[in-house]
Amino acid sequence: MTADARSRSRSFVGRDGTRLEAEMWGEASAPPVVLLHGGGQTRHAWDRTGPRLAALGWRVVAPDLRGHGTSQWSSDGAYDLDLFADDVRALVAQLGGRPVLVGASLGGLSSLLAAGEAPRAAIRALVLVDVAHRPDPRGVRRIVEFMRRRPDGFASVEEAAAVVSAHLPHRTRPYDPEGLRTNLRRQGDRWVWHWDPRMLHGFEGRTDPPGMAERLLAAARHADVPILLIRGGVSDVVPEDIAEEFCDQVPHARYAEVGDAGHMVVGDRNEPFIDALIPFLEGIG
């Protein structure tokens, strides 16, 4: 294993002192890129992406969002988007160096608000991974229904892997039970998802809140940085027409597509995702 492939851990402080645990790869002197996972995931969603970007000369930071993984849970159970955006602002300020933000789903929405609404985070560029100003509500409902399923957890990691495989039938390879272990935690004799279940209350009935699409478009227009939207070619959350609508409304945005990938682009097709990302990173200077 090369030095770039080895990760190290670091803690950051989010809004109101919330502790955010992160994984890091690459040289301390390299330009920073922050990878922000989606709702219900952990920083380990980027375990294959981080070393690859570090080998290309980037200092990579992948935090667990609040309420996820080993980061602190909100004491009052609140998980509105503004809290996540403030966490991103705090992390960027502590990191310095005007990082590139790469955000999937919830991580992308949080990054977009942090980049485009005051106080704007000092970043170099923004990459949105299968997220735009509005989703297809059917795709969001499917995800939320999956997250609400099995609140009592699983008897084994293998059982959880079988459930995930059924949820992602487009994946051609079997879901790796060992890779899934980082998304689970022990609770008695059961395995449960490694996130605060109270977070789901914020998703209930809010797949596309009134005024949110306009707010996100305004944030994108005010984010004075290059924006790339990478969508999954078979995504049911960001179909092609929504991606095109976003780019039509945001002149400095463009989008790329990863074929045969669903909403979880990185997990579905990591290498094609990196192939879509690298030219953008190389072009921002």
Q: Does the pLDDT of residue 203 top 90, yes or no?
A: no
What is the pLDDT at residue 171? Answer: 65
Tens of pLDDT, residues 225-261: 999 999 999 999 999 999 999 999 999 999 999 999 9
Query: What's the CA angle centered on 39, arms 34 and 42, to 5 degrees?
Result: 60
Share of the chain above pLDDT 70, in %: 92
Q: What is the pLDDT of residues 34-60, one digit of tens each?
A: 999 999 999 999 999 999 999 999 999
Neighbours of 81 (CB within 10 A): 18
E strands present in 121-234? 125-129, 184-187, 190-193, 227-232
Tokens of 277: 């990302």
| 45-104: pLDDT as tens digits | 999 999 999 999 999 999 999 999 999 999 999 999 999 999 999 999 999 999 999 999
Tell me, yes or no, if the pTM score tops 0.85: yes
Q: How many CB atoms lie within 10 A of CB 215?
A: 16
